[in-house]
Amino acid sequence: MRDLVAAFNGRLPDAVGTAGLLAWLDEFSDTHWNFRGRLGGAERDRVRVDLDPAHAAAALTAAEGLGLTDSIEPPHAGYDHLLILGGLAPACLQRTEYAARLAATRRIGAVTALGSLRPLSPPERQVQGVGAAETEADALAAGVRAAFDRHVPVLVAPPRDPAAPRANTADTYEHWAAVAQPRPEQRILIVTSPIYVPFQHCDAIRILALRYRCGIDTVGFDPARATTPQPPGAAAPDRYLQEIRSAIRAARALHTAATGTRA
């Protein structure tokens, strides 16, 4: 992170503590990497920014070092709950396929897909395998039908903010927890895409682990093994910078919640 900030002519502050450092990084990333914000909060697949070679190289190096590029195996042999997060249509198919592969090799209890009623864009509706899907939840439903030999419910979350166009990751966690009521001794495995693991893991700790005292592991699928190919730009440097910012903001929210809980 220090090297990435330096590539954008910044310098991490000294002796400001964790809260101060995360606040500084939040402001810095808003200035330099908030490409979605500059377009009014556009969906991830609508944003494309061409970086100069030096910035692109720094972004890719940082993404690898910060864990946004790797697919790792879950560390435990069994989980009480497996949660499949929704996203863009290709990701809905990729994640359900990977989750089914994990469920076949581990002791898995309840499996649930978490999505929203976000309308699919025209390119998403053309993805092979989503059928007549019109929303993210529809794409998830298509994915679980194709990947699993058992019924997997798709839980559709409303946005907590009535002004928001759709539910975000935190909203889906909140909605699922209200239904499932996880217990402290339970382990939860979350399946997403590698690029989103840091921020979605922080949100899961904040919303599920801190409140319900359960164990959380978050893993991303391996794009090289996915039947559905990655869409253009999915691993572009600008996309990594945007999700590094997402990770900073999620870490800041987690730190605030954790210190508040201790107090």
Q: Which two tokens stand for residue 199?
A: 């921020």
Residues 6+ apart with CB under 8 A from 13: 20, 21, 24
Instruction: Using a pLDDT cut of 90, give the percent of the chain over it.
Output: 85
- CATH architecture of residue range(s) 78-227: 3-Layer(aba) Sandwich (3.40)
Q: Which two tokens stand for residue 255?
A: 């730190």
The string of pLDDT tens digits covering residues 173-186 is 999 999 999 999 99
The domain locations on the chain are 1-69+235-263, 78-227
In this prediction, residue 38 carries a pLDDT of 66
In this prediction, residue 213 carries a pLDDT of 96
Average confidence (pLDDT) over 160-178: 91
What pTM was computed for the model? 0.93
Q: How far apart are CA 263 and CA 250, in angstroms?
A: 20
The string of pLDDT tens digits covering residues 41-89 is 556 666 677 889 999 999 999 999 999 999 999 999 999 999 999 999 9
Q: How far apart are CA 127 and CA 145, in angstroms?
A: 16
Question: Among candidates 99, 47, 111, which has minimal Cα distance to 71?
Answer: 99
DSSP state of 187: E
Q: How far apart are CA 21 and CA 248, in angstroms?
A: 10
Average confidence (pLDDT) over 205-215: 96
